[in-house]
A and B are shown apart, each in its own frame.
Chain A
C-alpha cells in the first residue's frame, strides 16, 4: 500500500464550510497528488506537489488549495465547500526509479459529502 494514509476516511459537511483532507506518507516520496473520482470521469487531477512547498495545479483545481510543509504530509483544502465537490478524493505518491518507476500508488480514499 506504499505507506499512504488519508484522513478522514468519511466526512459529511455543509455548503460553505471549510474542509481539509490530509494525506500522509511514510516513505519519503517527492511527488504527491490529489485526485477526485466522479462517476463517468475516472480520476481527475486536482493538485500535485513535487517537493516541500512546491505545488502546481491539475485539471480541476478551481475551489481547491493545497499545502505541503513537510515531505510526509500533503493537505487539500476546500475553502468553502459546494455540493459539486461531493466526491471521493484520492491521494497518491509517485515511486522513483527502478522497476516501478513513474508508477503512482494510491491511498484508500476519502468520501466527502457536501450537503
Chain B
C-alpha cells in the first residue's frame, strides 16, 4: 500500500523569506500524481500545485514550486517570498493511477512571522 509521510509537524518562516516543506512517499507504481493542498483556518482545502510522475520537470505555480525527486520518492514544496496569507496547514497527497484513490500525509502547519 502507498504511504505519504510529512516529517515536519510545524514550520515557521519570516515574511518575504523562503521555506521548504518536506514530503516523502512510498509506492511501487509508475502511474501516479502528487499534490500539495493548503488548508487555512477556514478549513477549505485549496489545491496549491500538481505534479505528474511521468514528467521530470518540476511544477511551478507563481511563488510555489516543487522539487520532485522520483528515485528518492521525495516531493518537497518551496514557497518563495512568503506572505502572511500563506499561513496554513499544508498536505502532501499521492494519487494512485491504479486505484484512483488519493492518500494524504499528516500535514505540516506553517506559521509566517511578520
Contacts and interface: CB of A to CB of B under 8 A. Distances in A.
Interface of A: 31, 33, 40-45, 48, 50, 58, 88, 90, 92, 94, 100, 102-106, 108-109
Contacts of A33: 102
A48 B44 CA distance: 20
Nearest to A40: B106
Interface in B33-53: 33, 35, 37, 43-45, 47, 50
Given A90-B45, A102-B95, A103-B50, A45 B106 contact: no
Given A102-B33, A102-B97, A103-B50, A43 B104 contact: yes
B93 to A, nearest CB: 8
Interface of B: 4, 33, 35, 37, 43-45, 47, 50, 91, 95, 97, 100-102, 104-107
Contacts of B4: 42
A103 B106 CA distance: 19
B104 A44 contact: yes
Contact of B43 (A40, A102, A104, A108): A108
Contacts, number: 46
A102 B99 CA distance: 12
A109 B43 CA distance: 7
Given A88-B43, A103-B50, A106-B45, A58 B101 contact: yes
